[in-house]
Amino acid sequence: MQVQRLKMRLRTALASLLLVTTLNACATGAGPSVPAAEVQACSGAWRLSDGRGVTASPVEAGLRWRTLEGETGRLRLNADGVWHASHGGEIDDGRAPVAFSCPGGLERFEGLAATAVPTVVVDTVFAGSGGVRLAGRLTLPAGPDTVPVIVQVHGSERTSALVFDPFQQLLPLQGIGVFVYDKRGTGGSDGRYTQDFEVLAADAVAAAREARRLAGPRLGRLGLHGASQGGWVAPLAATGASADFLIVSYGLLESPLEENRSQTILDVAEAGFGSGEQAAAGALADAAGTVMASGFREGFRELEVLRREHREAPWYGAIKGEFTGEILRYPPLLLRLFGPLRSQGTSWRHQGEPVLRGLNIPVLWILASEDREAPPQQTRSRLAALIAEERPIQLAEFAGADHGMRVFDTASDGSRRWTGYAPGYFRAVGDFALGRTPENDSNPRSLPP
């Protein structure tokens, strides 16, 4: 009877335990469904009559427009066959909609005429690490001039970069070429999805090689841009890619395990608890990290001691972290049985600082001051130390921005609803590629090289 009860409990727990398979160095998720081909064909970039620029890129339902100043909104095709536009991220601020048609594109934006920015687009297939077939795309501003080209290095997302990466439109709008490719195991690329940074860096090197080949004589400087988890991968790839510059957006100079620890401590701090409670939460995160990094083979005794000690504490329920909260939810038996199913080869102990020290190219590192997913405190300090050593690094930090460089409103319960992007962020990326000193309108802390 006891055996039957145990089997029933295991079967019941299995469905919920499979949530553990979503744990990784940065949040992934299955991602949005791919928009219809006709919607994808309606993406593009336009120059307004006052000199500003607007882009439209696919999202799950329709398109999202963005300006280089950080404004954004949704474009949706309703059942009546008419495109309707809104302003804001999750919040519609109620301003007048833009005039848009598909495939005609943007016609007017806030009363201003819009002219399409011409581009040259080349789709390609190339071999990544181990010969895995990867799908890529080079987009260049039209014309004969040489231009810098940025290779976009994926974060942890499972979505197709060829469909959803908005820099395919945002960079050509600024006179910059861009090479985007689907990470292995995503979109049109073969292979198994992984978070092994060495493998992903080798793929990025192959992508840079393909970008050089396709750009040919039009290539000026070539750089890598890694966002979020790409902030660990792009520096690893920079030397092999012979990159002329590197840009990292909301990435970290601490390991994925340290990221989880920082997030866990931030959870408790934002819940209103002090340094003692934060230290205890950090110890729980360390214990959970040992379990995770061992492939769910080690560390359970230490984790259970801490769990029993703190599980009745008022701050215990505030813990989420990258994976601490999920691990604390399940007993050791279930974690041992089903935890290994979540393995994605994540480089849990990877340290980015030694890699960055080994680079001798210009680096722009962009932080979001209010980043809950990648808390920037340790990275900020480590970058400041490197800059003090006269490394060729520039740090820009955008005040009031969360992960993804999103600005937001805060509700009474502390939840955030994003309203747009940090003003100046998109221009900062473009300016650095063009060899200019990045400007931004949010007056972030900036430590020039």
Per residue in 70-92, pLDDT (tens digit) is 999 988 777 777 777 788 887 66
Per residue in 384-406, pLDDT (tens digit) is 999 999 999 999 999 999 999 99
Task: Quote the mean pLDDT of the chain.
Answer: 89
Distance CA 303, CA 110 (A): 57
Confidence of residue 52 (pLDDT cuts 50, 70, 90): very high
Confidence of residue 100 (pLDDT cuts 50, 70, 90): confident
* Beta carbons of 250 and 405 less than 8 angstroms apart: yes
* Beta carbons of 180 and 208 less than 8 angstroms apart: no
Q: What is the DSSP letter of 56?
A: E
Distance CA 108, CA 106 (A): 6
| Token digits of residue 439 | 């400007």
pLDDT at 329: 94
Q: What is the DSSP letter of 435?
A: T
Segment 176-201 mean pLDDT: 98
Segment 316-344 mean pLDDT: 93
Place of tokens 């061992």: 294
pLDDT for residue 268 is more than 70? yes
pLDDT at 420: 95
Q: What is the DSSP letter of 50?
A: T
Per residue in 111-165, pLDDT (tens digit) is 889 999 999 999 999 999 999 999 999 999 999 999 999 999 999 999 999 999 9
Name which of 434, 378, 373, 439 is nearest 402 in CA terms. 373
| Token digits of residue 111 | 């009363």
pLDDT at 1: 47
What pTM value is reported for the model?
Answer: 0.89
Place of tokens 């300090």: 381
DSSP annotation string for 135-172: EEEEEEESSSS-EEEEEEEP-S--S-HHHH-THHHHTG
279 contacts: CB under 8 Å, gap ≥ 6: none
The proportion of the chain whose per-residue pLDDT surpasses 90, expressed as a percent, equals 76
119-255+348-447: in CATH 3.40.50.1820? yes
Per residue in 9-35, pLDDT (tens digit) is 444 444 444 444 444 443 444 455 666
Distance between start and end Cα atoms, the chain: 70
Distance CA 102, CA 415 (A): 35
Distance CA 40, CA 59 (A): 9
Peptide bond between residue 103 and the one before it cis (omega within 30 degrees of 0) = yes
Distance CA 382, CA 376 (A): 10
* Beta carbons of 417 and 425 less than 8 angstroms apart: no
pLDDT at 24: 43
Amino acid identity of 347?
Answer: S
Distance CA 180, CA 119 (A): 15
Distance CA 392, CA 50 (A): 35
Least confident of 61-65, 190-194, 233-237, 289-293: 61-65
- How many C-beta atoms surround the C-beta of residue 81 within 10 A? 6
pLDDT at 115: 95
Place of tokens 């201003």: 112
Distance CA 237, CA 209 (A): 11
Q: What is the DSSP letter of 86?
A: -
